[in-house]
Structure 1
Amino acid sequence: MVENTETAGTALSNEPIQPLPPPPALDPRKLALGKQLFHDPRLSRDQKTACATCHNLKLGGADGKPRSLRPGGMATPVNTPSIFNAMLNFRLFWDGRAGSLAEHIQGPMEDTGTDWEVALQRLRQDASYVSAFSAAYSDGLTVAAVQDALVTFERSLVTPNGRFDRYLRGDQNAITAEEKEGYRLFKAYGCTACHQGVNAGGNMYQKVGVMGDYFDKRGDLTPADLGRFNVTGLERDRHMFRVPGLRNVALTAPYLHDGRIKTLEDAVKGMSKFMLGRPIEPREVKLIVQFLHTLNGEYDGQPL
């Protein structure tokens, strides 16, 4: 049993998970442009696929599919992570190949088969874009400005003030007794070894299958299953992936890089088997899942 040192009204400053910060202060003109671009399909080759197609803000910042569809109908090699709170991750993409949001936005453009200059020419045919970019950027509508506007919007996609955040800040009534017990179990089983910090993860790499061979059990190995190895070529990075943050995790099924785990309950059971090497009894799985639901936050002042 983990010792309970909580006091009503006292913030829990020493917990492995800490409250999400509010979104940073951003230029409202650039933010508005970035939001418009994020939902604009003209950035893609087929002019039918927007950033929001795969990163649907009404679906937890993902798309609810095991793997997203590129223009032309070909599936992406991995499951689409949530774009919410991405700015808080230490690296981007499952294999960590991008170190910043500016690097990250290059990947989707490559996936959709669009050249930045081609997209720019399309946008320049829209007088409202030309006017808005001229007002927000000294050089007007350029590739660099488009990229900066997209990054500005993505930096705004932080989801603070969830029930668990309020609990950490001292509101003992923000989560139920069952949810508190689920959090205690989450810590007691060692889940916070990987899932900690403000994003409850996203700040380290870990091998999928520390205590069991997930890929042998699953079968059908693909190049994407090599994870970080595809970036570095180092044997130690085989099957290593960026640990996903668990913020809003109840909204982003299916799970893992391959999208093979359909429910949050199955994700907890799978992680206990392949990452912890020990079973978790069904009652405790349910309690941990109840806790994970408290990690849903707010966006634009509304609960997700």
Structure 2
Amino acid sequence: MKKVLSIFWKIIATLIMLIGMGIFFSRIKNKTPPDTLSSTEQIEIIIDQGGCLICHAGPEYMHTHAQLPVVGTIIQNQAKRALKFYNVSKVLDRYYSKKHIDEVVFIKMQNVLTKRSMPPIIYRVFFWESPITKGKQEVFLNWTHHYLERNYGYPYPTKEHPFEPILPVPDSLETHPAKVALGRLLYHDPRLSSHNSLSCMVCHNTETAGTDHAPFSIGVYNQPVAANTLSTFNTALHSVFFWNGRSATLEDVIFDHLTDPIKMNINSLDSIIQVLSQDKELTDRFAETYPTGLTDSSLADALVQYIKTLITPNAPFDKYLKGDKNAISPEAKEGYALFKNLGCATCHAGVGAGGLSVEYTGTAHTYYPDPSKLVVEDMGHYQVTGDIMDMHRFKVPGLRNINLTYPYFHDAAAQNLRIAVGAMAYHQRNKKLNTKELTCILEFLKTLTGEHPSEPQSIQEKKE
């Protein structure tokens, strides 16, 4: 027993010595890139020294690190986990081709940099230039905040007004009144489905926050669709559509819905135009509004114009973001702080509090304990790309009006918001929320419910 204890304490002493050496040499070698360099050059040096790409860009970036004894195995295991959180290989392609990078990438970096939570301790011990010092943090955050301000409208943070990952919903989006009117007609028109049996309104009911509250909506042939219906409210604020992220524009979403054999089941877009062309009043209005008249593209555009009006501004939380600190309760403020601290806001970010990316489901605990029960829809973004790294990645739903759009998740597994929040905290963040924490987060989420001009008073929240 004494021999075992002796070995144990020797191991502990060795680890302490290694950590101490790492800290000592890190302070000597780990310097902030000089300000004589451009901000881009500084960032590239920090990323290289931090070893970010070794874990977050795939095996080809590991080089010799993965071959190191003991440490190499640890790095490989860390990389497998890191790629679930984010694979930056596609971001690098956009970066080197000087294209815009998605805002969620910068929101995630902002969170990590603020907490200085990366790289992992074991990496810092052996790679002395890797830790994010305060100097590196200042350089990197400055670059991140300027990019978000310049490209996505995030206010540059100050001491009085710290960075917020969620932005207020605007009062309106730019639309054309005549096109909106046509889109509204089409949204309620069952002729957009085979046998004139189903309109957009049936599954995306504007009287129930843009959804139908069914676990799986019923299509034209009385068959359930494959995934829970997402709300049309505020989707104009999103950049990723469908649970598996297969579309990047609202126009694509419309064409997908119309031709889906279970949903609307239109054989071809031409057939819709032929049916609607028999309506002289409608075709005349399209001719007056669009130079091309009634076509598949003008039909889609009219629907998009109408969907752009389905935004819900002036939520209590929006008023809070604009400076009214009494717009939400102390419990909601506490819930928002916890929401950010847990990292929820790194994905549920932007104006829509989500809708900007596809993310891995089950970063902390698997969401699929029984592989034998998996169905095609559980594959997520893998259905689109065929890349195994996209297996179980799903669109991050927007949280605007989230208390009105039950049930939740692609498989409608959560019947109410309390269940959904608890499940996400556990599966994504390894956090079992206590009653107070859960209540506060729910109070915060309810403050994301905004106003809509056609929203009836009869909309009722699902009782928890």
- TM (normalized to structure 1)? 0.92
Match of 1:226 among 370, 373, 379: 379
Matches within 5 A, 1:215-294: 215-216=368-369, 220-294=373-447
One-letter amino acid of the counterpart of residue 113, structure 1? N
Please state how far the C-alpha of 1:216 moved relative to its aligned partner.
Answer: 1.5
Deviates more, 1:256-265 or 1:129-138: 129-138
Residue of structure 2 in register with 1:162 after alignment: 315
Corresponding residue for residue 265 of structure 2 = 113
Whether 1:141 aligns to 2:290 is: no
C-alpha distance in 1, partners of 2:324/2:454? 19
| Equivalent in 5, 11, 28 of residue 177 of structure 2 | 28
Cα distance in 2 for partners of 1:73, 1:267 equals 28
Runs of 5+ in structure 2 lacking a partner? 1-158, 460-464
Q: What CA distance in whole angstroms lies between the structure 1 residues aligned with 2:371 and 2:217?
A: 20
The answer on whether the counterparts of 1:12 and 1:169 sit within 8 Å (CA) in structure 2 is no
Cα deviation for residue 84 of structure 1 reads 1.2
Q: Structure 1 residue 275: deviation in Å?
A: 0.6
Q: Which residue does 2:342 correspond to in 1?
A: 189
Cα distance, 1:222–1:11 mapped onto 2, change above 3 Å: farther
Relative to structure 1, the CA distance from residue 217 to residue 226 in structure 2 (aligned partners, 3 Å threshold; closer, same or farther) is same
Counterpart check, 1:298 vs 2:451:
yes
**Cα 1:215/1:84, change in 2 over 3 Å:** same
The code of the aligned residue for 1:104 comes to V
Cα displacement (A) at 1:44: 0.2
Cα separation, 1, equivalents of 2:391 and 2:162: 36
* Residues in 2 aligned to 1:87 and 1:176: alpha-carbon distance in whole angstroms: 29
The alignment status of 1:51 with 2:51, answered yes or no, reads no
From 277, 280, 305, the equivalent of 1:124 is 277
Counterpart residue identity of residue 311, structure 2: V
Q: Which consecutive residues of structure 1, in runs of 5 or more, have no partner in the other structure?
A: 1-9
Deviation at 1:11, TM superposition (A): 9.1
Q: Is the 8 A contact 1:208 1:274 kept in 2?
A: yes
1:64-143 matches, within 5 Å, as 64-111=213-260, 112-114=264-266, 115-143=268-296
SS at match of 2:219: coil
- Deviation track 1:153-191 (CA, whole Å, cap 9, x = no partner) reads 122222111110011101122111121121122122221
Distance 1:265 1:107, change over 3 A: same
**Equivalence for 1:39:** 188
> SS of the residue aligned with 2:303?
helix
Alpha-carbon separation, structure 1, partners of 2:372 and 2:438: 25
Larger RCO: Structure 1 or Structure 2 (Cα < 8 Å, ≥ 6 residues apart)? Answer: 1
2:364 aligned counterpart, secondary structure = coil
Q: Aligned pair in 2 of structure 1 residues 301, 72: CA closer, same or farther (>3 Å)? A: closer
Q: Rg bigger for which structure? A: 2
Q: Residue type matched to 1:62 in 2?
A: T
1:218/1:200 Cα in 2 relative to 1: closer, same or farther (>3 Å)? farther
CA distance in 2, matches of 1:168, 1:24: 19
Paired amino acid for 2:433: I
Alignment partners' CA distance in 2, 1:29 and 1:192 = 37
Amino acid at match of 2:443: Q
Select which of 192, 200, 209 maps to 2:353.
200
SS of equivalent residue, structure 1 residue 128? helix
Deviations 1:225-247 (A, max 9, x none): 00000000000000001111111
Q: Deviation digits for residues 170-228 of structure 1, max 9, x if unmatched?
A: 11221111211211221222211211111111112211111111111696211000000
- The two structures, once aligned, show a CA RMSD in angstroms of 1.9
Contact kept in structure 2, 1:67 and 1:78, CA below 8 Å: yes
Partner SS, residue 160 of structure 1: coil
> How many residue pairs end up in the alignment?
295
| C-alpha distance in structure 1 between counterparts of 2:353 and 2:447, whole Å | 12
CA contact (8 A) 1:23 1:157 kept: no
Structure 1 position 85, deviation (Å) = 1.4
**Native 8 Å contact 1:13 1:168 kept in 2:** no
TM-score, structure 2 normalization: 0.61
Q: Structure 1 CA distance, aligned partners of 2:218 and 2:371?
A: 22
State the secondary structure of the residue aligned to 1:31. helix
Runs of 4+ in 1 over 6 A off after TM superposition: none
The alignment partner of 1:298 has SS state of coil
- Counterpart CA distance in 1 for 2:454 and 2:327 is 17
| Alignment-mate amino acid for residue 332 of structure 2 | E
More helix by share: 2
Q: Say if 1:11 and 1:169, in contact at 8 Å, map to a contact too.
A: no
1:25 Cα deviation after fit: 2.2
In 1: Cα distance, 2:338 partner to 2:162 partner: 19
Once the 2 structures are TM-superposed, how far is the Cα of residue 301 of structure 1 from its aligned partner? 7.3
Pairwise CA distance, 1:127: 2.3
Deviation at 1:119?
1.7
| 2-structure distance, mates of 1:251, 1:295 | 10
Counterpart of 2:168, as a letter, is: P
Contact conserved, 2:240 with 2:358, CA < 8 A, in 1?
Answer: no
Task: Report sequence identity in percent.
Answer: 40
